[in-house]
Homo-oligomer: A and B are copies of this chain.
């Protein structure tokens, strides 16, 4: 018999380290973090922390060493291109105390690709083959230059199309834990109306995590309530309790004539 997903209660944790001055200056709005967050959640990996740092070796090394020792996996984005400000490979090598050098297999992949396209294999392009000694490639079906893996750190490109392709290549290789099930319940009432009662529902369903997310349409507040649990039955039970709570609040408001508003 296959193991029930409920028997697998392993928790696998991860962090994302997004690297790039352009994210901190506001010039580029990050799109990779949200994408990978969704993919990890769906896969059964708990994203615990995200950091964004500049193209600064010391900052990258420090963040990487903090994250890689604390979480099962670290995923980085950005800084592995061919220009002088692409310093992620050097920083990762430094964090692990490894030499950063041209990888033979990567040189050959990139050399072939450029030859095929009649492009000069410039010094800048050769730079994309540099990685910490012994790193394992992450294939790049978009533009060839590979990402790489050192121990639990996965180093990927910052260009969203390439990042997404690399995530797709990496995910099947990861150890995963129990998926977190979630149910979303919409409340037409604001958090101020439901907060006290919702706290009681949370207290009565301790093995679930109930999150409350206010929405503002420019006039009134409503709330999205998200119930999360590793056990789908517990998730359903708490979700039903939340729905019943909303119904009770609706009836009380109708009975007392209080306007339904935040």
Contact = CB atoms under 8 A, between A and B. Distances in A.
Interface of A: 21-30, 33-41, 46-55, 59, 63, 81-86, 114, 117-120, 122-125, 127-128, 142-143, 158-159, 161-162, 180, 182, 184, 191-196, 198-199, 202-203, 209-216, 218, 221, 226, 228, 258-259, 261-262
A215 to B, nearest CB: 8
6 contacts: A22-B213, A26-B35, A51-B51, A83-B199, A119-B261, A159-B214
Given A25-B41, A216-B159, A143 B50 contact: no
A162 B124 CA distance: 45
Question: Taking each of A86, A125, A191, A198, which has the highest tally of chain B beta carbons within 10 Å of its own beta carbon?
Answer: A191
A47 B59 CA distance: 13
A45 to B, nearest CB: 11
Task: Kindly report how many copies of this chain are found in the complex they form together.
Answer: 2
Nearest to A210: B85
Contacts of A84: 195, 198-199, 202-203, 210, 212
A216 to B, nearest CB: 5
Question: Taking each of A47, A182, A213, which has the highest tally of chain B beta carbons within 10 Å of its own beta carbon?
Answer: A213
Given A192-B122, A195-B127, A199-B83, A216 B143 contact: yes
B117 A191 contact: no
Nearest to A221: B143
Given A82-B191, A142-B216, A50 B34 contact: no
Contacts of A196: 122-124
B27 A226 contact: yes
Contacts of A259: 117-119
A21 B216 CA distance: 19
B28 A216 contact: no
A260 B195 CA distance: 60
Nearest to A52: B50
Given A119-B258, A124-B194, 20 more contacts: A22-B226, A27-B38, A28-B213, A33-B52, A49-B63, A50-B50, A81-B191, A83-B198, A83-B199, A85-B209, A118-B258, A118-B259, A122-B192, A124-B192, A124-B199, A127-B195, A128-B192, A143-B216, A159-B216, A161-B216
